[in-house]
Amino acid sequence: MTEWLGMPPLAAAHGGQIDSLIGWIHIFMLVLFVGWGGFFLYAIVRFRKSRNPVADYAGVRSHRSTYMEIGVAVVEAILLVGFAIPLWAARVDRMPPENEALVVQVTAEQFAWNVRYAGPDGVFGKTDIKLVDLQSNPLGVDRSDPPAKDDVVTLNQIYLPVNKPIIVKLRSKDVIHSFGVPEFRVKQDAIPGLTIPIWFIPNVTTADMRTRTSNAEFQYEIACAQLCGLGHARMRGFVTVVSADEFQKWMEERIAELADPFK
């Protein structure tokens, strides 16, 4: 229903709810704009100087404007209590269980996205700040820790299987960044010192989206949505949504690379 807003194409299961909220807000705001604008014009004509040569200090005696203001407050309360709070609860408070989801750790830094998967064992290995090396080990993964051996780290590239709940655990190494993928209708600030989870279910693969948009080069793009420094504009990452099988294959290739990085 929100095509008229020119939103980017939708590619996540919950996105319809977000879009309809955005649509309703626009409709209500249009009604408010037209209503208040009309009232403003009415007031200019009704209280013109030629009709009211002397100021009336008692002012308007009818209660109509009070009722209108109450009406506006009621509409706003409905938006907040009826739409925004339930959607917030569903989207933010109710996380899917981690064993049914793919957990991806995304650590923002000036000016890149470091992505880490737990690998086949499903456990993120230890990290140590002493091991951080901007080129070879940006997250300081301690490869001597057994669960860390199969941790897969990528730069500015997130591979995701389609139709599976994804939990992104968002962190930052330096300043406040913001993880935004418009097609998934997610946007969340990454704040140093905090790990903030967000979740979504991507439901259109990159290949399908290329056909749907007739754009052979289409990519889901992670845009840093907070001005985070001089290189902010080039802080882009890419999300590739693939079938479960293709994801499995991609993961196996990365694991093979870990075993033999010079292959």
In whole angstroms, the minimum distance from the beta carbon of 226 to Cu ion comes to 6
Cis amide leading into 111 (omega within 30) = yes
Total residues contacting Cu ion by CB under 5 A comes to 4
Using rule CB under 5 A, residue 115 touches Cu ion: no
Q: Considering beta carbons, is residue 156 or 203 the nearer one to Cu ion?
A: 156
- Are 88 and 18 in contact by the 8 Å Cβ rule? The answer is no
| From 102, 228, 239, 241, residue interacting with Cu ion (rule: CB under 5 A) | 228
**What distance in Å separates the CA atoms of residue 236 and residue 224, rounded to the nearest whole number?**
7
What does R_g of the chain's alpha carbons equal in angstroms?
A: 25
What residue has token string 């992104």?
168
- Is residue 222 close enough to count as binding Cu ion by CB under 5 A? no
Neighbour count for residue 260 (Cβ, 10 Å): 7
Nearer to Cu ion, 228 or 241 (CB): 228
What's the rounded Cα separation, in Å, for the pair 219 and 230? 24
Name the helix (H) or strand (E) containing 20. Answer: helix 15-46
Q: Which is nearer to Cu ion, 131 or 175 (CB)?
A: 175
Q: For the residues of 176-220, what is the DSSP string, one character each?
A: -EEEEEGGGTEEEEE-TT--EEEEE-B-S-HHHHHHHTT-TT--E
Nearer Cβ to Cu ion, position 204 or 222? 222
Question: Which tokens in the block code for residue 168?
Answer: 């992104």
Give the position of tokens 């993120």: 124
* Closer residue to Cu ion, CB minimum distance, 55 or 134: 134
Could you identify the residue written with the tokens 């939708």? 10
CB of 151 to Cu ion, least distance (A): 23
Q: Which of residues 143-202 bind Cu ion (CB under 5 A)?
A: 177
Instruction: Please identify, using beta-carbon distances, which residue of 181 and 201 lies nearer to Cu ion.
Output: 181
Q: Which range in 64-72, 191-199, 221-229, 237-245 contacts Cu ion by CB under 5 A?
A: 221-229
Listed ranges 19-27, 49-57, 152-160, 232-240: which one lies at the site for Cu ion (CB under 5 A): 232-240
Q: From residue 11 to residue 40, what is the string marking binding to Cu ion with x (rule CB under 5 A)?
A: ------------------------------
Contact 256, 247 (CB under 8 A): no
Q: Smallest distance from the beta carbon of 233 to Cu ion, in angstroms?
A: 10
- Contact region with Cu ion (CB under 5 A), list: 35-43, 96-104, 158-166, 224-232: 224-232
Query: Which residue ranges make up the site for Cu ion (CB under 5 A)?
Result: 177, 224, 228, 235
